[in-house]
A and B are shown apart, each in its own frame.
Chain A
Amino acid sequence: MPAERTERPLSRTGKVVRVAAAAAMVLALMATSVWGEDDFFPFAPFKMYSRATDPDGWVKSTNVFLTDAEGERIAIDDDDTGFRRAELEGQLTRFREDPDLLAHIAAAYEAAHPGDPEIVGAEIVTRRYELVDGERTGEETEEIVAVWTEEGTA
């Protein structure tokens, strides 16, 4: 076996420190998975698609629609503003309590689309789909979570 070495072999202390560091990383990940929240990033529970969805219930999908000065309604996606749908959902209670925050999404859209007409209105719409046995029944509802218009008259 041509296991050529050019480095000094690791000292006992060097090994202990390295094993301890690895153990600390794993323990920190485990601890934040058990008790922690996203706030402790980068040590955070790995909760990709971890929420269960009742196969006989409703699933929802939230979107922002903007209205520009020409009256056009724009369904925005994640790359339009830099503010993603998942981020919107994460802050949804804030938006529900203070719909004027939508002005910031409008501002982000305007900054990202400098040539386009001004944004004068925005709304957050949550659509819910009914499932039975995990299958869509075709039953849908729509809720307008927050509305903002340029004049602030909403």
Chain B
Amino acid sequence: MSVRTAVNGFFFEPVPLGRVAAMRFLAGLYVWIEWWAYMPFIFGHRFVPGELYQPLFIGRVLPLPTPDYWLVTGTLVVMLAAATPMMFGYRPKLFGWILFAAYFEWMVIANSYGKVDHASFGFMTLLLVLCMMPSHAKWGDREHRSERVGWGFKLVQLAVVCTYFLSAWAKFRYGGFDWANSGVFTWAIIRRGTVFSNWLLDFPGLLHAAQWGMIAFELLTPVVLLVYRWKRVQYAIVAFLYCFHVAVFASLGISFLPHLVAMACFLPLERIDPREIARKTKARFTRRDTGHTEREPEPQFESGA
């Protein structure tokens, strides 16, 4: 296999359009959930006086105004107003671009007060690539495949993997190569422990081992990109990553939700068709006496052909 075939196969693996519709819906849903349930502090910044605003590089280069009550509220309104039509596939490119711009400003508001969060890079990439994907993408469409969509989601997947892999690098850079032997998990649990994790403070050996495990898995995440031809292996790795985040959420209350939404583009969401599900559910209730269920052909996902 030549380098060119390998590069083409990796970046331009055709992906069904059904996944685009599903990811648009998930992205819009997340935007609707984030501001009141997940990161209410961003909207809370409308109360914070401008004296505590510390503009980032991007905020100093672009003429972005110092956030105040109306700027924060206005950004939120634009974001939600654009997310709604986009998530249901109405003019998704136009509203996608508006959403991307508004969400970017929202992130500037979120990160310009002395703390930068790192969980949303993949999600911002997702919003950007969704703007460039076909507007006629329909739920459950497994027939129409697109190389452009394949590239877009690959970009998001690269961003997701970089988030893991480079966070291991950041641990070496800021914590030293001895990070895994430090007391960082103890510290984290003292700060944000829950009923699921406080007992761990009595077992420092276990936390020590978990720190090594974390470094190891973060450094190994690029594997999930390399196994793209073996979908079952890839889905299993993605499932492991989701389980990791469930465990972190249970023990520290931190969920990296936007990152989890972005990561969903690894999954064959084109299999989900709400209309089909609704039709089948209805059929099950109306034709229960016949006892006959339709057989669906086995879905195929290997795209090597």
A residues lining the B interface (CB < 8 Å): 1-7, 9-10, 15, 18-19, 21-22, 25-26, 29-30, 33-34, 38-42, 44-57, 59, 61, 78-79, 81-84, 86-91, 101, 104-105, 107-109, 111-112, 129, 131, 133-136
* Partner of A53 from B167, B182, B303 at Cβ < 8 Å: B182
Complex: A117 Cα to B52 Cα, angstroms: 23
Residue pair B121, A84 in contact (C-beta under 8 Å)? no
Residue pair A52, B155 in contact (C-beta under 8 Å)? no
* Residues on the B chain within 8 Å of A21, using CB: 155
B residues lining the A interface (CB < 8 Å): 7-8, 11-12, 14, 40-49, 51-52, 54, 56-58, 69, 107-108, 111, 113-116, 118-121, 124-125, 134, 143-148, 151, 154-155, 158-159, 162-163, 166-167, 169-171, 173-176, 178-179, 181-188, 190-191, 201-202, 204, 207-208, 300, 303, 305
Task: Take A22-B151, A34-B173 as given contacts and tell me if A41 and B116 are in contact as well, using a CB distance cutoff of 8 Å.
Answer: yes
Residue pair B52, A50 in contact (C-beta under 8 Å)? no
* Residues on the B chain within 8 Å of A50, using CB: 167, 170-171, 173-175, 179
Residue pair A42, B124 in contact (C-beta under 8 Å)? yes
Mostly helix, strand, loop or mixed at chain A's interface? Answer: mixed
Residue pair B121, A42 in contact (C-beta under 8 Å)? yes
Residue pair B49, A107 in contact (C-beta under 8 Å)? yes
Complex: A4 Cα to B169 Cα, angstroms: 42
Residue pair A112, B7 in contact (C-beta under 8 Å)? no
Residue pair B113, A83 in contact (C-beta under 8 Å)? yes
Q: Considering the complex, give the chain A residue whose CB is closest to the CB of B186.
A: A134
Mostly helix, strand, loop or mixed at chain B's interface? Answer: helix
Residue pair A104, B52 in contact (C-beta under 8 Å)? yes
Complex: A136 Cα to B187 Cα, angstroms: 10
Complex: A14 Cα to B193 Cα, angstroms: 49
* Residues on the B chain within 8 Å of A34, using CB: 169, 173
Residue pair A87, B186 in contact (C-beta under 8 Å)? no
CB distance from A148 to the nearest CB of B (A): 13
Residue pair A51, B174 in contact (C-beta under 8 Å)? yes
* Residues on the B chain within 8 Å of A2, using CB: 143
Report 8 cross-chain contacts, Cβ distance below 8 Å, ordered by A residue.
A15-B8, A22-B151, A33-B173, A41-B58, A45-B174, A104-B48, A109-B47, A131-B187
* Residues on the B chain within 8 Å of A47, using CB: 118, 167, 170-171, 173-174
* Residues on the B chain within 8 Å of A7, using CB: 134, 146-148
* Residues on the A chain within 8 Å of B44, using CB: 78-79, 81-83, 112
Task: Take A50-B173, A61-B191 as given contacts and tell me if A87 and B115 are in contact as well, using a CB distance cutoff of 8 Å.
Answer: yes
Q: Give 19 A-B pairs besides A46-B167, A51-B175 with Cβ atoms closer than 8 angstroms.
A: A1-B305, A4-B143, A7-B146, A18-B151, A33-B170, A42-B107, A47-B174, A48-B118, A55-B181, A61-B191, A79-B41, A83-B48, A84-B113, A90-B114, A91-B114, A101-B52, A108-B52, A109-B47, A134-B208
* Residues on the B chain within 8 Å of A91, using CB: 52, 54, 113-114
* Residues on the B chain within 8 Å of A40, using CB: 56-58
Q: Considering the complex, give the chain A residue whose CB is closest to the CB of B11.
A: A19
Q: Considering the complex, give the chain B residue whose CB is closest to the CB of A59.
A: B187
Residue pair A135, B303 in contact (C-beta under 8 Å)? no
* Residues on the B chain within 8 Å of A101, using CB: 51-52
Residue pair A87, B166 in contact (C-beta under 8 Å)? no
Q: Which 7 A-B pairs have the closest CB atoms?
A: A82-B44, A90-B114, A134-B204, A52-B175, A52-B182, A55-B183, A46-B167
* Partner of B179 from A26, A52, A59, A82 at Cβ < 8 Å: A52
Task: Take A41-B57, A54-B183, A87-B113 as given contacts and tell me if A82 and B166 are in contact as well, using a CB distance cutoff of 8 Å.
Answer: no
Residue pair A52, B163 in contact (C-beta under 8 Å)? no
Complex: A53 Cα to B175 Cα, angstroms: 8
CB distance from B204 to the nearest CB of A (A): 3
* Residues on the B chain within 8 Å of A44, using CB: 116, 118
Residue pair B57, A39 in contact (C-beta under 8 Å)? yes
CB distance from A144 to the nearest CB of B (A): 19
Q: Considering the complex, give the chain B residue whose CB is closest to the CB of A133.
A: B204
* Partner of A29 from B114, B144, B154, B162 at Cβ < 8 Å: B162
